[in-house]
Structure 1
Amino acid sequence: MLHQVSGSAPSTQGVDAPADEDEGVDQERLMDSRIYMQATQGHVGDFIRILHSISSEKELRQSIILCQVSHRNNTCLHIAVSFGHHELAKYIVGLCPDLIDKTNSKGDTALHIAARKKDLFFVKFAMDSCPSGSGASRDVEQAEQSLLRIVNKEGNTVLHEALINRCKQEEVVEILIKADPQVAYYPNKEGKSPLYLAAEAHHFHVVEAIGKSEVKDHMNINIDREAKPAVHGAILGKNKEMLEKILALKIVHQRDEHGRTPLHYAASIGYLEGVQTLLARDQSNFDRYHRDDEGFLPIHVASMGGYVDIVKELLQVSSDSIELLSKHGENILHVAAEYGKDNVNLINEKDKGGNTPLHLATMHAHPKVVNYLTWDKRVDVNLVNNEGQTAFDIAVSVEHPTSFHQRLIWTALKSTGARPAGNSKVPPKPPKSPNTEQYKDRVNTLLLVSTLVATVIFAAGFTMPGGYNSSDPSAGMAIFLMRNMFHMFVICNTIAMYTSILAAIIFIWAQLGDLNLMDTAFRFALPLLGLSLYAMSLGFMAGVSLVVSNLQYWLAIVVFIIGIICLFSLSVPFLLLFLPSKSTNRILRYISYYPFLILVWASESPQIKQED
């Protein structure tokens, strides 16, 4: 059984590819267009005739002509294999065996191309035709190993190409593995070995073939930390049976380039079944107390992703994990708070800097976590860190990527009674000078909106639903004057009219340019404008249902239902004009809870929403 695996292929193997795919080819080496055409068509007789013709015409040996290349450094063998012309490929190899390990501008040999095309015939033929020192044909077990160790510009061997292109013919990969088992462990430029690819793609026959092969101990294979462990591929594939097969190989190299064990990796992607499988095996490599290069344990990694089930699983097998700290002195809740996860719990614990989870969530601008923590009665929102700062001090002093996040955090802390410490060792951040031009643009926009609303409502006030009576004694009076819905229409129109006019007047005053006056204008005029829009919507619903109710009662009901649903939806952004409030009143906090969560959700990046 294999105990050590290779990390990289020898750099001296194979033929170096040109530095650039589009690099020009010397005229002397450039393939004749007639040969190129015949190689694409695949007629052996015509190919031989053209080859003899060119040889006589240019006085060149046939082997030299066959070694000529296209603009992309493809030999005629590359071309024949690309088009699947097996008989022609056999003829070319028989005439010039050295072509079999020539590479094109992408570093591909003809065998790379055959593996990519899942061409079993040419793979078998190439393995049987590899030239030895004497030029004699050899069987599969004696095939030239250097051919299979040639890597292209992606760092892929022939075996890589077969697996990357999902080769379904088991015989292809089995032939390649049997010819040179060591290649199964060579990583490409992505750090993925053929064994890793097979484990990730659930190719059980490939893993079994690799497991049955033997790599001699005297090869002294060095471990390359940049190679991705095959067990991580099995974890990424999320197949328990495959994971157990890879574990059965007992490969020593289990840590990746970041020092993460398989348990770290399974925890990082939320693979609970994988974590359970790894924990069930008594192996030191999967020790839950191993730290990665960042100093994090598997339970910290699970907390970063908010994977509660995995955290619970790790706590079941080692309850002391709840007290384990990272190299920064952070417990699992610190880590969860820092990475914006609110579903992992240690409430008032401090790290080395004296920061509680609330400090860290504030510092890293995670309003969702701050809100969650402030609603927990066990959290002391006024604890200070080593700098003498409370979370509120940090909220008003730390520059966050978005000011809206900062505002949400400030609101959540203020409404729960958080206050500055008064003895902070960090000097307060000087306030920014307000941008008067931005304020003026906002004022002008809102003034235009409020004016438009007032104009629409004014027109609606003289265009009554149903029209007016034209006969005495009620001439000029609204036809639906005595209907309740009409009363509702008039009242809503009146409210919308005067609140929009009042908002417009306030915004006109804000045009004077005084910043304090502008701020006051926003605080008073925005709710008025919101109320105006709400009343206008309610009036529209009442008016439309009124004019259709006499003849189509069902249509009036539909209009009323749609209106109620839309008004309820409109009430949420309307409440957001007032709430969440900085008031510590418990009732107001409960009213503002869900609107606050909506604001948090709306302000998060799409990536965070997807993760949650």
Structure 2
Amino acid sequence: MDGRLLSAAMTGDARSMIQLASHDPSVLLGTTPQGNTCLHISSIHGHEGFSKDVLELDQSRALLSAVNKDGETPLLTAITRGHASLASVLLSCCYGQQLSETILKQDKRGCNALHHAIRRGHRILALKLIEAEPALSKAVNQHSESPMFIAAMRNFTDVFDKLLEIPGSSDSGPFDFNILHAAVRTGNSVSAKRVMETRPWLATQENGSKHTPMHMAADEDKIEVLTVLLEHDPSLGYSGSTNGAPLLCIAASQGHVGVARELLKHCPDAPYSDATSSTCLHVAVSYEHTEFVEFIMGSQQLQHLVNMANNNGETALHLAARNSQTKMVAALMLHQDIDLTVLDKSGNHAKVLNKVPKTELVLNKMEASSGGAASSSGASATAMDSSLLQAAMTGDAITMQNLAMHDPGVLLGTTPQRNTCLHIASIHGPEGFCKTALAVNPSLLTAVNSDGETPLLTAVTSGRVSVASVLLRCCRDQQLSEAILKQDNRGYNALHHAIRCGHRELALELIEADPALSQAVNKHDESPMFMAVMRNYADVFEKLLGVPYSAHGGAYGYNALHAAVRNGNSAMAKKIMETRPGLARQEGKDKTTPMHLAVIWDKVDVLRVLLEHDQSLGYLVSSKNDVPLLVAAAHRGHVDIARELLKHCPDAPYCDANGWTCLHEGVKWEHTEFVKFVLGIPQLRKLINMRHPHGSTGTGTALHMAVLNCNPKIVAALLLNQDTDVTVMDSRFGASAIWVLSAATDHAKTLNWNEVSMLMLKADPQNAGSVYNLHKETKDKLTKLSRKDIKSLTQTYTGNTSLVAILIATITFAAAFTLPGGYSNDAGSEGLPIMARKVAFQAFLISDTLAMCSSLVVAFVCIIAKWEDLEFLLYYRSFTKKLMWFAYMATTTAFSTGLYTVLAPRILWLAITVCILTSLLPMLTKLLGEWPVLKLRFRLGRKFKSELLDMV
């Protein structure tokens, strides 16, 4: 754009514009670097007169249709800048020239003129736009917002009504909201009614939170809107969200009694419980809404919820007692139908769960007033005679026989846990008593206690193997197959317990007696075979495997082969593969097959057995995330697994569905040996430069990831491979591997970061400029971060430095008054140093003085240090570092010369040795302090660049 035209458009100088256009009409079509024409500029500044004059010229049509880099026409520019009157002028011109596309134009964010007009509150302009071009109502922006949604959110009823009349107008909003959600949010029942009359289906649409407008109304206490919706369609009161929460539960979570009352008015039997069987009463108690609880207690439709339990067997009273909600407990117990005897799944009633004495007092009062309702109603079975109980515990068979002689039915008496005398004897182990009892009354074998156990099960679980063998033989002799096969309340049979408790001989005896025991699984889906394999009981396992119909399932969806893999038992795995090969492909609940477990747990021998039997197993991938076996091996760094896998399956899958390879995985988890293995094997050589198509840092190669992790060993290994291409750019950011270091500035002060920089510089010398630019950029970034924390850095450095300085000053000060050789007592030279004339002594005094002075200077500089000046800190570090080194060397010199003064006259060799050792001390200190850098210099050789280490 001509500079004069730009100035005229900014100031509204129409005369200058007309004069320029008279000489060269095309000058009006010139643009700024942002693509703005003179009409855009005048629209930004609101010069209506200038714009009218421009539009009277021949170029008006082109100027009206011109689009800048933000995707804006002059009409859009005028509206976004708040110039409504100018926008009306431009709209009239577009309408007059039939520029429909210009009116409908959407900017880069998808907003058209109507979006902006409503958003900025220009209601009259919005109505004009709708009148001029109704199709504006159909557009949605990048956030899925329609003009109607914005109008509803801003409560612009006139604009909203106008848009609602247009048949094809859009009604969507962001986060899957619609205009009815917006009406609910603003509490506009009038708009809600209009929507229900014209677009009733919107009432059932869920937003991103899986809430319909009805759910929002219940959650936000919009009673008037809720009434409108229910009056139009009462069935909406029965709707539930995708997550299973009914409206009453939502109202209960917020304590909205008015919402619940209105809902029940239109829907007397509205749903009151969610997917977990938690009722609105449970919810209200959990959120401590006492008023809502009282409402439920007084409601005819909901008062039956008082004793209703959720999936955990807990009533609302259980929750209130467990959470120590005294007021809530009192409110619940005011209801006449409350039942204190209800037990949860753990067998606890509400009183057991309370934690606060005050709550317990309330419960006790209620229990007393109920007349002991919580007491047991009494067992239907006959109670066991106490003499018989004592006899069973001690094994007194004679007493038992005497009792049975007078009353044969006495043996059928039970304890409160429904244990017979045979159960008790099975627990305590008197074998003779058991035999005698069975001789008197064989029916005791089939008796079941409250745990679902027969005497046989009780004997096994109690570890009474000999008693269990006796009972098993009796059951078999009497053909009591059901008693042998009986499972307790947890689904365990005698064989389960025998294997779990380690009774292998008994387990074999049970299988021999009734092979059908092998078919049962407990509540955890564990079969006897699975348990046997888990415990490595080969003899029991083989016996069970020989039963054709024996179960092989286990906990967590695993099977017997999973168990064999876990234990690394290749012999068992081989037998399973020979008889039940299908188990190798079965997945557990974590979607892992036995093959995957063998890879993850590094069970090479088992893996070999599986692959030798069926090579195709090497091509399995997890159904959960399509992870192939090689990637799983890379995750743990199991090189031997990968080698064995490729031995049987040379073309085994190496990447998942997203293109993530085993090399990427090995690099990510920094398994250097696995990375070297991949780089050295021909089958996987092509992975070196393969990009992965996802990731927050781009879509790069393994080298990109190694650089990001700042792992010099892996970077070096990758660069040593001749196929590595360091120039590969990721497809997301267009960055080569070296630039990935910019995303790892947290490690910029480490040797690893700098070593990786040097390695990449050597590998790609053409990119040297980029490396140094990156280094400078990172250094500047770290400097800015340091400035933010300068006070802490200065305090830390001065504290550490001053401590050492004061220590040296103290030592040297004390040494000055404890002179080597002592002081003279001779007449005429009293108090003078004896060694004063020796050169070594004079050197001692000079070095000691220098050490003390330099350390004192450092200590006092720490006192005057400026806390918030980075430049001062840098100067201070440089200055004090040099001075402290000088003090250190002076101190060692003073030490060596002092000892030399004393030792030299008599033990010269020792004096010289002390001097040599102390002189080497500073050099040794320097070597040890800079050893990591020296080691890096030695390792890199010519690749080493010292200028890149100034951040370390």
TM-score (normalised: structure 1): 0.66
CA, structure 1 residues 233+539, in 2 after alignment: closer, same or farther (shift >3 Å)?
farther
Structure in which a larger fraction of residues adopt helix: 2
Distance of aligned partners of 1:463 and 1:35 in 2 relative to their CA distance in 1, 3 Å threshold: farther
Q: 1:262 to 1:390 in 2, by over 3 A?
A: same
Instruction: Return the offset for 1:267.
Output: 1.8
Equivalent runs, 1:161-200 vs 2, <5 Å: 161-167=497-503, 170-179=504-513, 181=515, 184=518, 193-200=527-534
Deviations 1:233-258 (A, max 9, x none): 22222233333233333242233323
Alignment of 1:134-173 (within 5 A): 137-138=478-479, 142=481, 144=483, 146-147=485-486, 149-150=487-488, 152=490, 157-167=493-503, 170-173=504-507
1:339 is aligned to 2:669: yes
Other-structure match for 2:654 = 324
> Which whole-Å CA distance do the structure 2 matches of 1:239 and 1:541 have between them?
68
The equivalences for 1:142-291 within 5 A come to 142=481, 144=483, 146-147=485-486, 149-150=487-488, 152=490, 157-167=493-503, 170-179=504-513, 181=515, 184=518, 193-215=527-549, 226-254=556-584, 255-257=586-588, 258-282=590-614, 284=616, 286-291=617-622
- Alpha-carbon distance change, 96 to 287 in structure 1, aligned in 2, over 3 angstroms: same
**Alpha-carbon distance in 2 for matches of 1:546, 1:112:** 92
CA contact (8 A) 2:530 2:552 kept: no
**2:476 pairs with 1:476:** no
Which sections of structure 2, spanning at least 5 residues, go unmatched? Answer: 1-342, 353-374, 680-687, 762-769, 775-779
Distance 1:95 1:229, change over 3 A: closer
CA 465–267 in structure 1, closer or farther in 2 if over 3 Å, else same: farther
Give the distance between the partners of 2:796 and 2:392, measured in 1 at CA. 68
1:330 positional shift = 2.0
- Residue 336 of structure 1: how far off its partner (Å): 0.6
Task: Classify 1:226/1:455 alpha carbon distance in 2 versus 1 (closer, same or farther; 3 Å).
Answer: same
Structure 1 Cα separation of the partners of residues 463 and 593 of structure 2: 34
Cα–Cα, structure 1 residues 507 and 308, in superposed 2: closer, same or farther, change >3 Å? farther
Alpha-carbon distance change, 421 to 571 in structure 1, aligned in 2, over 3 angstroms:
closer
Contact 1:78 1:110 in 2 (8 A): yes
2:647 aligns to what SS in structure 1? helix
Partner of 2:732: 387
Q: Establish whether residue 413 from structure 1 lines up as the match of residue 745 from structure 2.
A: no
Deviation at 1:328, TM superposition (A): 2.4
Q: Distance in 1 between matches of 2:718 and 2:825?
A: 67
Query: For residue 449 of structure 2, what is the aligned residue in structure 1?
Result: 102
1:352 paired to 2:693:
yes
Q: Helix, strand or coil for the counterpart of 2:582?
A: coil
Q: Which residue of 1 aligns with 2:146?
A: none
Partner in structure 2 of residue 514 of structure 1: 869
Following TM superposition, by how much is the alpha carbon of 1:333 offset from its aligned partner in structure 2, in angstroms? 1.2
1:44 and 2:396 are equivalent in the alignment: yes
Residue by residue over 1:394-450, the C-alpha shift from the partner in whole angstroms, topping out at 9 and shown as x without a partner, is: 444469xxx569956643433434657999xxxx99986834564355245424533
Render the CA deviation track for 1:21-70: whole Å, top value 9, x for unaligned: 67799484598895797378423358749989xx99xxx9746741422x
2:629 aligned residue (292, 298, 316): 298
Aligned to 1:8: none
Distance 1:98 1:406 in 2: 77
The 2-side partners of 1:207 and 1:527 are apart by 75
CA distance in 2, matches of 1:292, 1:539: 75
Q: CA deviation at 1:207?
A: 1.4
Does the Cα contact within 8 Å between 1:185 and 1:195 map onto a contact in 2?
A: no
Query: SS in structure 2 opposite 1:66?
Result: coil
Q: CA deviation at 1:291?
A: 4.1
Instruction: Specify the code of the residue in structure 2 equivalent to 1:177.
Output: I
1:263 and 1:288 in contact (8 A); partners too: no
The CA deviation at 1:540 is 8.7
Amino acid at match of 2:650: S
Q: CA deviation at 1:370?
A: 5.3
In 2: Cα distance, 1:77 partner to 1:92 partner: 7
Cα 1:34–1:224 shift into 2, 3 Å: closer
How many percent of aligned residue pairs carry the same amino acid?
A: 18
Partner of 2:414: 66
The separation in 2 between residues aligned to 1:535 and 1:362, in whole angstroms, is: 44
Give distance in 1, aligned partners of 2:521 and 2:623: 21
Q: How does 1:445-456 map to 2 (within 5 A)?
A: 445-456=799-810
**1: CA distance, partners of 2:892 / 2:747:** 29
Q: How many residues align?
A: 535
> How far off its partner does 1:18 sit?
8.6
CA RMSD of aligned residues (A): 5.8
Give a deviation string over 1:122-144, Cα, whole Å, max 9, x none: 3223434559xxxx9226xx454
Are the aligned partners of 2:710 and 2:753 in contact in 1 as well (CA < 8 Å)? Answer: no
In structure 1, C-alpha distance between the alignment counterparts of 2:943 and 2:814, rounded to whole Å = 38
Q: Give the TM-score normalised by the residue count of structure 2.
A: 0.45
Structure 1 residue aligned with 2:466: 121
Q: Using CA pairs below 8 Å that are at least 6 residues apart, which structure has the higher relative contact order? A: 1
Report the residue type matching 2:460 in the other structure. Answer: A
**Alpha-carbon distance between aligned partners in 2 of 1:247 and 1:292, rounded to the nearest angstrom:** 22
Three-state SS of the structure 1 residue aligned to 2:429 is: coil
Deviation of 1:296 after TM superposition, in Å, equals 1.8
Range with bigger deviation, 506-515 or 302-311 = 506-515
The answer on whether the counterparts of 2:553 and 2:560 sit within 8 Å (CA) in structure 1 is no
Q: Counterparts of 1:39 and 1:406 in 2: how far apart (Å)?
A: 80
Contact kept? 1:300, 1:335, Cα under 8 Å = yes
Per-residue displacement from partner, 1:529-576 (whole Å, max 9, x unpaired)? Answer: 79988998999999999999999x99x99xx99xx99x9799656646
Q: Whose Rg is larger?
A: 2
In 2, the alpha carbon distance for the partners of 1:545 and 1:192 equals 82
Residues 422 and 437 in structure 2, CA contact (< 8 A), matched pair in contact too: yes
Residue in structure 2 matched with residue 434 of structure 1 by the alignment: 788
In structure 2, what is the equivalent of residue 458 of structure 1?
812
Give the whole-Å Cα distance in 2 for the aligned partners of 1:578 and 1:302. Answer: 36
Distance 1:422 1:382, change over 3 A: farther
Secondary structure at the aligned position of 1:344 is classed as helix
2:345 aligned to which of 19, 22, 43? 19
Amino acid at match of 2:467: F
Asked if structure 2 preserves the Cα contact closer than 8 Å seen for 1:461 and 1:490, the reply is no
Paired letter, 1:127? L
Change over 3 Å in CA distance of 1:40–1:319 after alignment to 2: same
Deviation at 1:206, TM superposition (A): 0.9
Displacement of 1:334 after TM fit? 0.6
Q: 1:512 to 1:241 in 2, by over 3 A?
A: same
CA contact (8 A) 1:42 1:85 kept: yes
Equivalent AA in structure 2 for residue 44 of structure 1: D
The letter for the 2-side match of 1:313 is E
